[in-house]
Amino acid sequence: MHVIILGSAAGGGLPQWNCGCPNCTAARRDGRDRTQSSVAVSADGQRWVLVNASPDLRTQLARHRELWPRGPRGTPIGAVVLTDGEIDHTLGLLLLRESASRLPVYAPAGVTALLGDDWPLYRVLSAYAGVEPRALEEDRRVALADGSGAPLGLCCSVVAVARRPPRYARAASRATFDVGLRITDEKSGGTFAYVPTAGAVDDAVRRVASGADLLLFDGTFWSDDELRSAGVEAPTARAMGHVPVGGPGGSLERLPGVGAKRTVLVHINNTNPILCSGSAERASVEAAGIAVGEDAMEFEL
């Protein structure tokens, strides 16, 4: 299985357009940008599945030759899988509207409902090629296939993780809005676990990550009060549904026990000190045997 981190940043990317924090200032000065969270996965290196579709998708696809069209029109992207309905994980679907055929989009039922109503992407896209919603049910393995029904060589299962509906859908009825993914190569058996947003490192995360060759996990904030410490009037990390990396009960303490063979932090907010390679926080992460994800990192499982 081939895995590419297309984007390693949380919503807003790095630098964030309206942020003058030390990380954003350094990124502008040094030209070290990070795009918003998304991953590409393939069993054969030819046909690809996008895992989340970020607002930076056009730039991300252009940076990777494997994802370029192979003729006047067309794409090696066979399907999209969504872990949630957040704007920074779904807005990129609008950038795929020029598709010549309906694009399969796998998502939990709660997310599909949001994208048909509260955040009506599917209704907008119906004026173009449109999408073909396909259901992801908890604890049921689904063989991913492209729009013609041809198997992509990957199986996917999902587990609901401890978060909440997106901000635009606070009044939404109770449903599954955030999932962790476990994607398996049907031939090699390589297993990729993806949990870009999580409210805890709990039994649900362990079910997704146990035995996985690679776990990409929520590294949004270092501390619970990170945004407030940066001078931003905002809720705490936990109130936003993100377990912080550092501190008592943080993911750095608990991730080594989930059973993944390799762990990489992604979905990293622009204020997070682990983005600074010389910081004590970055050293703590690396000392725990965990890597800080970067755009364009590639893995073979």
Helices (H) and strands (E) in the chain, counts: 9, 14
Range of the domain at 6: 2-300
Q: How many CA atoms lie within 13 A of 105 on its CB side?
A: 32
pTM exceeds cut of 0.85: yes
Q: What is the dihedral of CA 206, 11, 95, 63, to 10 degrees?
A: -80
Q: Going residue by residue through the chain (301 aa), what tens digit of pLDDT does each one get?
A: 999 999 999 999 999 999 999 999 999 999 999 999 999 999 999 999 999 999 999 999 999 999 999 889 899 999 999 999 999 999 999 999 999 899 999 999 999 999 999 899 999 999 999 999 999 999 899 999 999 999 999 999 999 997 778 888 876 666 678 999 999 999 999 999 999 999 999 999 999 999 999 999 999 999 999 998 888 888 899 999 999 999 999 999 999 999 999 999 999 999 999 999 999 999 999 999 999 999 999 999 9
CATH number at 233 reads 3.60.15.10
Q: How many whole angstroms separate alpha carbon 248 and alpha carbon 95?
A: 41
Q: Are 51 and 81 in contact (CB under 8 A)?
A: yes
The answer to whether 133 and 111 have CB atoms below 8 angstroms apart is no
Cα–Cα dist 137/129, whole Å: 25
Number of domains in the chain: 1
Based on C-alpha coordinates, what's the Rg of the chain? 18
